[in-house]
Chain A
Amino acid sequence: MKPTATRHNFRAASSSAIQNKRVQKAVRNTAGLLARMRATTVNTKPEFEELRNWGRNRKLLVSENLEKWVAQFKAQVEQQGGVVHRAKDAAEAGRIISEIARERGITAAVKSKSMTSEEVGLNDILQDAGITVTETDLGEFIVQLAGEHPSHILAPAIHRNQDDVRKLFTEKLGAPADLDVEGLVRFARKVLRHKFLEAGMGITGGNFAVADTGTVAIVTNEGNGRMCTTVPPVHVALVGIEKLIPSIKDLPDFLSLLTCSATGQRASSYISMTTGPRRTNETEGPEEFHVVLLDNGRSSIAASPWREMLHCLHCGSCLNHCPVYHAVGGHAYESSYPGPMGSVLSTLLWGKQSYPELANACTLCGRCVDVCAVKIPLANYHRTLRHQGGSNSQTSYLAARLASHPGAYRRGIHALRRMLRTQPLTKVLPKINKSVANWQSCRVLPVAGEEQPFRDWWHQHQPKGQAPKLKRVETKEVPSVPEDKKAGTADREELLALYRQRAGALGVEIVETSVAELSGLIGNLLKDESVSSVALPRAGWPQKLDERVAEILAGADCQTVSCEDETGWNMAALANAQLGITYSSAFLAETGSLIYPAGAGNGTLASLLPEVHLAISASSTLLSDLNAYFKNEAGPLPSRLTQIAGPSRTGDIEGTMTVGVHGPRRVIHWILSDLDTGQ
């Protein structure tokens, strides 16, 4: 959202916002929940503090020389067959993206949540160019239906409770009036499924742009990000230049910083890592991959004293912990970026002429600084954005001169004490002084007591020369015990136990079994879920295991949908499959997740579109974390690499966790102990 030409009046906006107790309650509930979720995870991660320092240092390296990293990123994307566009401002970004659509005759686009696109006002620009844009993140979808703007960078519809959403769905979409939260989510799934299949363009933001590989990584929980990066023929990622990170080796730790800070998740449900468009022989993915790199004032911020503002990961943690945000909600900020990060960023991006008061929207309580993923000194930034270049007020200067002069100070304190004892004066003061009136709106003026002033007392004071009544104990510094290094040294059994615990907590149904048991297990699953159609991509399975699975399915009279050649999926048939069976080439203990690289014949969408996803792995492919995976697979990255942690989920309606938004509601993982991967 671009700010309007009028000056933002935060006092007026916030004082009217705090009147709305319904919105205030909704915001407090969800933001409070997110803050508690963060605390729960961070409290069990002793290395998190060190990780935050590391993140800040890596980001300092980038913000020191943005152009260098941009150039490297651009070269890498181009080498992979993608196109990089540079946009100096919002209008140019809008023009570039409408042009891409217009040249290809695209009239419908789907979009996953991107605050950068809100900054640009992209929806309005595309709408004016005749392109329909559908928001696909549930929260953004709700906000778009209501004709509003997001009020939180992570949970856009945080200000709406389920009654609001129910009413909105009934009015705008003709949904039944008696749906519960799960019913509302299922309803949105149906509406949006069509939009994905019809869209000519998928638009996303980018959480990270990796300079040394040209990869754009996005995190989503619902699966809409995967849809937008895989289903439409053209994928456009709109990314601020500050989102660059030096290396793919940095990505796993940055992802962890982001998701832990945002929601306390060790990994979001889906992490989509896109490196160029679909490659020869690949059966899915966009034919074109465009990255629009947006400056829009970022270069100037990099050269300013507020440079670290560019380090922001947009995790939303500062909003979730800010007392002011909790009280007023996001809309009072009248910017796409609300809360502490928003006050600073909006002031820097659009200037004090647009946002003259946001630097004051902070009590300097410092809570945001303590929870910032990359330790941005937000409180200090609020402070230093006040009175830039000094106040030049003679009154202020005179007051400081007097306050730093001992004699004048003493006389001043005397006078002030006398004044605060004179009740009639406290009635007159608010009439002549606005600050006093504001203070008295909900407080009384303090009253100085009749007790002896300290300095008078001190002149008479004689120490008693007593024996100490409070005993002092000499304290010794306790040497800190070094933490054990964990994941790296754990043996396989420990790793597997960790995987069971982490994936299990996400709702993944884990079965450790053998090839011989497959037939019976599949039979039961087909019966339980009344499956008549199964999506079964055939590439990449070891020991012709796919043939075995296909035989079992044929025996059970099940239709199978596959994607053997470059014509790819029959999307209508894929969308109708109730079960997707995939081979996962690696799974990760730390995040309880599965890994899917794109490749010839690898139909990764089978893990996304059906209601139930069955992943099969060899137990030997268990690794500690994404770092270990990148170490193991030293070659070039696939065009799309996907990490899946549990089912598709959302908390966008009142923070109520609901599964099966765009992806599966059930994720089942069978780990085969006797499968030889030939590695």
Chain B
Amino acid sequence: MSLPNHVSLFLTCSAETLYPDVGRACVKVLEAAGFTVEFRQEQTCCGQKWLNTNETREAKLMARHFLQVFESAEVIVAPSSSCVDTVRNQYPDLFSDDPGLHARFVALGEKTYEFCEFLDKAGIRELPVHPNPVPTTYHSTCRTLRGIGLRGVAENYLQQLLGDRFIELPESETCCGFGGTFSVKLPEVSGQLLQDKLDNIFSTGAEVVTALDLSCMTHLSAGAKKQGRTLRFAHLAELLAEALDGAEQ
């Protein structure tokens, strides 16, 4: 597959609020792979929150704004599977009664990629080795697996970056219990799922937990911190950027 060389970064509201380093890491890696990166200042958030609660009036506002900002981009890359899933798989359904608009959203979705998914599609097969690998595990996240259908790609990259310091997470395909509003509407059940996920993470002895979805990462790190655990939560882009830095020195 040949991809355009000009990438438009969709940062997402989570990264902008809590993880600006993830955005910087994405830019660094994409540029190291020979892409030029742009950042459209008018961008905001994908509106996933309103889609999850089926508030379609609000979700449509967000979708239309996203289209206005990004429709002219060659390709859009975001460091978050759930946001990509929203744009690619849920926006079009919002406009199923308007064939013209529906088609524009389908086209938009087809050129929107998750960061790691994009590297794979772009034919990035060999990664440098991380200069200081520590035991690291990977939570697949629901929208990575079942939203955008990405399986095995991140695991393969982590294997290359970290060698035997990459440890598989037991029951990696099970939800962490976040689910957006689920976590505050049914906090007890959400807390139980969170605990199960954390127990699995603790059982690996990992010092770093990585994922391709910042909202799940926020949920997991907030749970670990409540229990006084000092784990590092990092997007795969950050580990890759560190490896590139290491290769530079």
CA distance A436 to B29 in the complex (A): 35
Nearest-neighbour CB distance to chain B for A418, whole angstroms, equals 11
A373-411 CB mask vs B (1 if < 8 Å, else 0) is: 000000000011111101101001101110111100100
CA distance A640 to B226 in the complex (A): 62
Which residue of chain B has its CB nearest to the CB of A391? Answer: B55
Nearest-neighbour CB distance to chain A for B60, whole angstroms, equals 9
A–B complex contacts, Cβ < 8 Å, 5 sampled: A360-B182, A388-B54, A438-B185, A472-B34, A472-B122
- The reply on B97 being an interface residue by CB < 8 A is no
- The reply on A128 being an interface residue by CB < 8 A is no
- The reply on A350 being an interface residue by CB < 8 A is no
CA distance A454 to B20 in the complex (A): 5
Interface hits, B96-142 → A, CB 8 Å = 119, 121-128, 142
Partner of B125, one of A357, A446, A471: A471
- The reply on A217 being an interface residue by CB < 8 A is no
- The reply on B212 being an interface residue by CB < 8 A is no
Interface 9-residue window, one of B37-45, B70-78, B162-170, B200-208: B37-45
A466→B32 contact, CB < 8 A: yes
Nearest-neighbour CB distance to chain B for A404, whole angstroms, equals 4
Which residue of chain B has its CB nearest to the CB of A458? Answer: B39
When distances are taken between beta carbons in the complex, the residues of chain B under 8 Å from A445 are 222
When distances are taken between beta carbons in the complex, the residues of chain B under 8 Å from A370 are 146
B122→A396 contact, CB < 8 A: no
Nearest-neighbour CB distance to chain B for A210, whole angstroms, equals 34
List 13 other contacts, CB 8 Å, given A413-B16, A443-B226: A360-B182, A360-B186, A363-B178, A363-B193, A370-B146, A383-B53, A383-B54, A387-B55, A388-B54, A443-B219, A453-B20, A470-B124, A475-B123
Interface 9-residue window, one of A180-188, A320-328, A481-489, A538-546: A320-328
A13-28 CB mask vs B (1 if < 8 Å, else 0) is: 0110010000000000
Partner of A362, one of B179, B194, B244: B179
Nearest-neighbour CB distance to chain A for B199, whole angstroms, equals 13
CA distance A612 to B101 in the complex (A): 67
B58→A396 contact, CB < 8 A: yes
A472→B123 contact, CB < 8 A: yes
Nearest-neighbour CB distance to chain A for B160, whole angstroms, equals 11
Interface hits, A610-638 → B, CB 8 Å = none
CA distance A323 to B176 in the complex (A): 9
A365→B142 contact, CB < 8 A: yes
When distances are taken between beta carbons in the complex, the residues of chain B under 8 Å from A464 are 31
Evaluate whether A454 and B61 lie within 8 angstroms (CB atoms) in the complex, with A14-B186, A363-B175, A367-B146 already known.
no
- The reply on B249 being an interface residue by CB < 8 A is no
- The reply on A469 being an interface residue by CB < 8 A is yes
A472→B193 contact, CB < 8 A: no
A366→B194 contact, CB < 8 A: no
A413→B194 contact, CB < 8 A: no
CA distance A446 to B57 in the complex (A): 29
A400→B58 contact, CB < 8 A: yes
A366→B184 contact, CB < 8 A: no
When distances are taken between beta carbons in the complex, the residues of chain B under 8 Å from A435 are 184
Residue numbers of A with Cβ under 8 A of B are: 10-11, 14-15, 18, 323-324, 327-328, 357, 360-367, 369-370, 383-388, 390-391, 393, 396-397, 399-401, 403-406, 409, 413, 416-417, 420, 434-436, 438-439, 441-446, 448-449, 451-455, 457-458, 461, 463-464, 466, 468-475, 477
A455→B41 contact, CB < 8 A: yes
CA distance A474 to B41 in the complex (A): 32
Partner of A390, one of B57, B146, B194: B57
Nearest-neighbour CB distance to chain A for B117, whole angstroms, equals 13
CA distance A116 to B22 in the complex (A): 52
Partner of B34, one of A365, A396, A470: A470
A409→B45 contact, CB < 8 A: yes
B36→A364 contact, CB < 8 A: no
- The reply on B84 being an interface residue by CB < 8 A is no
- The reply on B247 being an interface residue by CB < 8 A is yes
When distances are taken between beta carbons in the complex, the residues of chain A under 8 Å from B64 are 404
CA distance A396 to B29 in the complex (A): 37
B206-230 CB mask vs A (1 if < 8 Å, else 0) is: 0000000000001101110110000
- The reply on B153 being an interface residue by CB < 8 A is no
Nearest-neighbour CB distance to chain A for B10, whole angstroms, equals 12
CA distance A436 to B184 in the complex (A): 8
Nearest-neighbour CB distance to chain A for B228, whole angstroms, equals 10
A439→B188 contact, CB < 8 A: no
The 3 closest A-B pairs by CB, nearest first: A363-B179, A468-B34, A400-B58
CA distance A404 to B59 in the complex (A): 10
B16→A366 contact, CB < 8 A: no
A442→B191 contact, CB < 8 A: yes
Nearest-neighbour CB distance to chain B for A306, whole angstroms, equals 12
Nearest-neighbour CB distance to chain A for B81, whole angstroms, equals 11
When distances are taken between beta carbons in the complex, the residues of chain B under 8 Å from A449 are 18, 20
When distances are taken between beta carbons in the complex, the residues of chain A under 8 Å from B184 are 434-436, 438-439
CA distance A477 to B1 in the complex (A): 8
Nearest-neighbour CB distance to chain A for B69, whole angstroms, equals 8
B189→A473 contact, CB < 8 A: no
Which residue of chain B has its CB nearest to the CB of A384? Answer: B54
A323→B177 contact, CB < 8 A: yes
CA distance A388 to B2 in the complex (A): 42
When distances are taken between beta carbons in the complex, the residues of chain A under 8 Å from B156 are none
When distances are taken between beta carbons in the complex, the residues of chain B under 8 Å from A454 are 11, 15-16, 20, 23-24
B47→A443 contact, CB < 8 A: no
